[in-house]
Structure 1
Amino acid sequence: MVKTYFMLFFACAIWGFQPACVKLLVAEWPPAAMIVVRYAIIALMWFAAAWHAEGKNIMPHKEDWKWLISMGFLGILLNNVLQFTGLQYTTVTNCTLISATQPAVTACIAFFLIRERLSLAKWIGIFISFGGVFAVVSGGSLEVIRQINFNTGDMLCLAAQLSWAAYSFLSLRVMKDLSVEATTFWFCLFGGIMTAVYGAGSGTLQFVPLSPGALISFLYIVFLGGFCSLFFYNVGVKNAGPSVAAIFLNIMPVVGIFSGFMMFDDYIGPAQMGGAAAIIAGVFMTTHHWKHPV
């Protein structure tokens, strides 16, 4: 299991550093342009992997097309545009901390959508995680909460987590019929096409030569963040189980805070540190196995 744990650690550490790379990129490329090129390359890689494993069996069933298109819209167009745009208005630290609430957000939505039963400890974990988010996005100011005057970038990053959670439920439906490789290829393809249409319609599909630093960042989010990490994490889920794999996601905010501080001199104060502690504790309680569901 040591190899599996290393793969999980590597994947989550890579994802933790990814927002810093995106923040460098959005200074030169609009989010839509970045997403289109990124997922065109990623889709080709997943097509090669799926074709090598299954050949013509990668074709979806008739009833799966609408779900794959919806996955592309939620998981790529909406999620990436919201998060990448949000990074233009908030810090890498805040974005990473908000992203760390994903397990709690998913568990909460699961209760309302599919009536998944949650233990009392998991409900407590969800509320603790969201309390940590409020601490981060408000900067620890009660006045900000009373006036509902949150940072636009923080709100966009939080909305991105909601869209990814919705995507996750659709993926469960599709992967009853298709393999992980085939599912990933199709939703990347559809998401990239829809983002291209959105970018063309909004006039944001603009490409300029990237600086060396931005080019390295782009290669990072494509090959490390977009393909290798996803592959390693999926292997980890298969070998160690989803609950154990989810705990490794706690590495992301730690790496994110460090990268934001080192690369952009992000401010790390009591609100960020307290919010990080609450989010990590809440995620652990939400993803851990507990008895006595309510």
Structure 2
Amino acid sequence: MRFVRGDRAVTLLALIASGLLWGITVPLTKVALAGVGPAWLTVARFGLAAVPLALVAGRRGLRGALTWKIVLWGVLGYGLVVVLQGQGIARTSVSHASLIIGATPVLGALLVVLLGRGRVGALSWAGFALALAGIGVVAANGAGGATLAGDLLVLVTVLLTAAFLLAQQTVLAGRSPVAVTAVQFGAAALASAPVAAVTDGSPVRAPGTGPLLAVLALTVFGTLAPYTLFAFGQARVAPEIAGIFLNLEPVVGFALGAVAFGDHVGPAQVFGALAVLGGIALNTLPYLGRRTPPAPPARRDDLPEPEREPALV
């Protein structure tokens, strides 16, 4: 596939839109949790989003994606992560949660290095240290409804997400990203249902207009749309270039937390935000500094079906 100027503009717009939309997930979750428990919110969010993806993928695509590893990573990477993230967001502020989640690209790259699957230079190591220091400052200066317990829960979900994204490189190989995502969304919803029945109680109670609208917006604009747009862009550029646009999420979430929710913003919060974003920026500079863009990876639909299950980390 030739990467012409028009293709580049559309691809960049898709990646930018996905990053901006992911930035509204924490604020929307905060509103939805006022009427829906964290686990039931996970069931609704991924269950509803799985339906249109399954229709697009078709029976053949879904059959190729129905393996135990794909299902397991859907339960862990989507279900468990979002349930724990909901618990964390309920105990902390929108700004804190957004900033901590924004360190996902940095921690993902650090995990790659620790597992010996890649190398980074001194600039990237400085970025790791700066971003992690920023997370520590933000977590240690809880205010405006923020707590250390909530921040730590969100941090756990970031670590799980980093491991999940690394595993997805092998899970997606040779398969339709839409089909894999549909199966994983469905698995996350089904696995979260019994947890919701135990921890959140009955889902019958009316959540109220505001929380209900937040659930619907989170499903469409915080789940279905950004994942689809990101998959579109990721299929046309190298993974590390696509990952740069995830860094838009903490900027949007932090701004909305301060403006819409009245989250406290003091010197410590500003320093932590700048440290996290500065650390992410240091890790993206080596890629942005390339004179020519890397060749886009082969389209998943053009790859042959694998003969056996790919090995995961």
The answer to whether the superposition gives a TM-score over 0.5 is yes
Report if the CA contact (8 A) 2:20-2:252 is conserved: yes
In structure 1, distance between residues paired with 2:167 and 2:202: 28
Provide, for residues 217-247 of structure 1, a one-character-per-residue CA deviation record: whole Å limited to 9, x for no partner. 1111101111111111222223343333322
> Aligned pair count?
278
Using the size of structure 1 for normalisation, the TM-score is 0.87
Question: For 1:191, which of 188, 212, 230 is the aligned residue?
Answer: 188
In structure 1, distance between residues paired with 2:112 and 2:36: 35
Percentage of identical aligned residues: 27
* Secondary structure of residue in 2 paired with 1:239: coil
Of 127-136 and 197-206, deviating more is: 197-206
Aligned to 1:146: none
Provide, for residues 96-142 of structure 1, a one-character-per-residue CA deviation record: whole Å limited to 9, x for no partner. 0001100111111112235322222222111111011011111199x
Report if the CA contact (8 A) 2:61-2:176 is conserved: no
Question: For 1:129, which of 115, 120, 131 is the aligned residue?
Answer: 131
Aligned to 2:296: none
In structure 2, distance between residues paired with 1:216 and 1:40: 16
Question: For 2:41, which of 34, 45, 48 is the aligned residue?
Answer: 34
In structure 1, distance between residues paired with 2:216 and 2:171: 29
Aligned to 1:82: 84
Aligned to 1:67: 69
Aligned to 1:267: 264
In structure 2, distance between residues paired with 1:236 and 1:288: 20
* Secondary structure of residue in 2 paired with 1:83: helix
**1:243 and 2:256 correspond:** no
Report if the CA contact (8 A) 2:39-2:200 is conserved: no
Which letter does structure 2 place at the counterpart of 1:214?
P
Q: After superposition, where does 1:208-287 map in structure 2 within 5 Å? A: 208-287=205-284
The structural deviation recorded for 1:187 is 1.0
Distance 1:161 1:277, change over 3 A: same
Identify the structure with the greater helix proportion.
1
Distance 1:225 1:140, change over 3 A: closer
Report if the CA contact (8 A) 1:72-1:191 is conserved: yes
Which letter does structure 1 place at the counterpart of 2:103?
T
* Secondary structure of residue in 1 paired with 2:117: coil
In structure 1, distance between residues paired with 2:61 and 2:241: 31
Distance 1:284 1:103, change over 3 A: same
The structural deviation recorded for 1:205 is 5.0
Aligned to 1:58: 62
Which letter does structure 2 place at the counterpart of 1:154?
D
* Secondary structure of residue in 2 paired with 1:88: helix
Which letter does structure 2 place at the counterpart of 1:58?
L
Aligned to 1:176: 173
Aligned to 2:156: 159
Report if the CA contact (8 A) 1:30-1:205 is conserved: no
Report if the CA contact (8 A) 2:38-2:200 is conserved: no
Unaligned stretches of 5+ in structure 1? 142-149
Using the size of structure 2 for normalisation, the TM-score is 0.82
* Secondary structure of residue in 2 paired with 1:268: coil
In structure 1, distance between residues paired with 2:263 and 2:153: 19
Which letter does structure 2 place at the counterpart of 1:13?
L
* Secondary structure of residue in 1 paired with 2:175: coil
Of 203-212 and 78-87, deviating more is: 203-212
Q: After superposition, where does 1:103-142 map in structure 2 within 5 Å? A: 103-139=105-141
Distance 1:161 1:264, change over 3 A: same
* Secondary structure of residue in 2 paired with 1:178: coil
The structural deviation recorded for 1:203 is 5.0
Report if the CA contact (8 A) 1:33-1:204 is conserved: no
Q: CA RMSD in A?
A: 2.1
